[in-house]
Amino acid sequence: MSLPDLNLLITLDVLLQEGSVAGAARRLRLSPSAMSRALARLRETTGDPLLVRAGRGLVPTPRAMVLREQVGQLVHDATTALRPAETIQLQHLERSFTLRAREGFVENFGADLITRVAREAPGVRLCFVPKLDKDSGPLRDGTVDLETGVVGESEGPEVRTQALFRDRFVAVVRKGHALAQGEVTPARYAAGQHIGVARHGQHTDHDKGQIDEALQAVGLARAITTTVGGFASALALAKASDLIATVPERHTGNLRAGMHSFALPMAVPAFTVSLLWHPRMQADPAHRWLRACVREVCGDGLAS
């Protein structure tokens, strides 16, 4: 079945409003002859004369009078659907967003982010889920709306990213630990008993590779006494023992409260934590607002 020319709806709407071929032609910036041809097509398509002459003017047929309101609403709905999204009314927004992040994000930024969101949009609910891997599938399938992390090769090429803040690794020990006193040299740091942090029970992760490479560059190596799955577990062990936890500084600010933190004594590159989302959410006004909230709470002014 062939579809009718939907552009005729706009022409019909204007014709029925104006009740005049000449008036409709002016509004649509067409010549009177072009508008007359359009009216002829409408008559053929609808099987009704629509506008008939009465004296020196035109009057609508009963079918045209029925169509006037219906066509007007159709044109309004179509033009509204094709306009750019309007500014949302945050006070009336009812929506849930799922954010995925590594351990430490909720503990460090969660309360401030919830407060910031609730101030403008009390009907918005945030759901935080752990980031156990770098698979971009949850962003692609819509089970996750937004996530944070270090951008790597495993992210899908279509994923949008924006730099959020710079971070670096620091070493953390309990108060009263030997490394809490005096200068910490690479040799003193390497000689301690260390906690490895690895997702999925792996024995290597982002932190371990960079730190061990930096130690190897100065002819040293550290001994990993135990491996845990997250920063909180590593810090809990370090707080109750002589073990050393090496964790991202800004990401674990609140988790490190009451402990002694110090800069690593060898050169380990800083890294950028970014926001990640799927392109289909790029222009969504509510999602755009949420991204701005996260940048306000967590960001340090980095450009995208």
User: pLDDT grade, residue 85 (50/70/90)?
Assistant: low
Check residue 104 and give its pLDDT: 87
Look at residue 202 in the predicted model and tell me its pLDDT.
Answer: 47
pLDDT at 203 over 50: no
DSSP single-letter state for residue 86: P
pLDDT at 8 over 90: no
Please tell me the least confidently modeled range out of 87-96, 133-142, 176-185.
Answer: 133-142
* Among the ranges given (24-28, 142-146, 186-190), the one the predictor scored with the smallest mean pLDDT: 24-28
**Beta strand spans in 133-192 (E):** 146-149, 160-167, 169-173
pLDDT digit string, tens, across residues 267-299: 999 999 999 999 989 889 999 999 999 999 998
User: Mutual orientation of helices 7-18 and 21-28 as an angle, nearest 10°?
Assistant: 130
pLDDT exceeds cutoff 90 at 73: no
pLDDT, averaged across the chain: 88
3-state class (DSSP) for residue 193 = strand
Q: Say whether pLDDT at 201 is over 50.
A: no
CB atoms < 10 A from the CB of 147, how many?
Answer: 23
Position 29 pLDDT exceeds 70: yes
Greater pLDDT, 18 or 239: 239
Among 7-21, 80-94, 157-171, 274-288, the minimum mean pLDDT is found in: 80-94
What is the rounded distance in angstroms from the CA atom of residue 104 to the CA atom of residue 144? Answer: 18
pLDDT surpassing 80 at residue 80: no
132 pLDDT tier (thresholds 50, 70, 90): confident
Q: Which residue has the higher pLDDT, 101 or 73?
A: 101
Q: What pLDDT, on a 0 to 100 scale, did the predictor assign at position 198?
A: 84
Confidence of residue 78 (pLDDT cuts 50, 70, 90): confident
Instruction: Tell me the one-letter amino acid at 245.
Output: A
CB contact at 8 A, 179 and 244: yes
Q: What is the pLDDT of residue 187?
A: 97
Q: How far does Cα 208 stand from its chain's mean position? A: 29
Nearest Cα to 88, choosing from 283, 298, 299, 303?
A: 283
Q: What is the pTM of this model?
A: 0.69
Domains of the chain: 7-82 (1.10.10.10), 96-167+272-298 (3.40.190.10), 169-269 (3.40.190.10)
Average pLDDT, stretch 77-93? 79
What is the separation of C-alpha 92 from the centre of its chain, rounded to a whole number of angstroms?
21
CB 294 within 8 A of CB 101: no
H or E element in which residue 33 lies: helix 32-46
More confident residue, 284 or 81: 284
Neighbour-count burial of 207, counting CB atoms closer than 10 A to its CB (0-12 exposed, 13-18 middle, 19+ buried): buried
Backbone dihedral region for residue 87 (phi beyond 0: left; psi -120 to 50: alpha; all else: beta):
beta
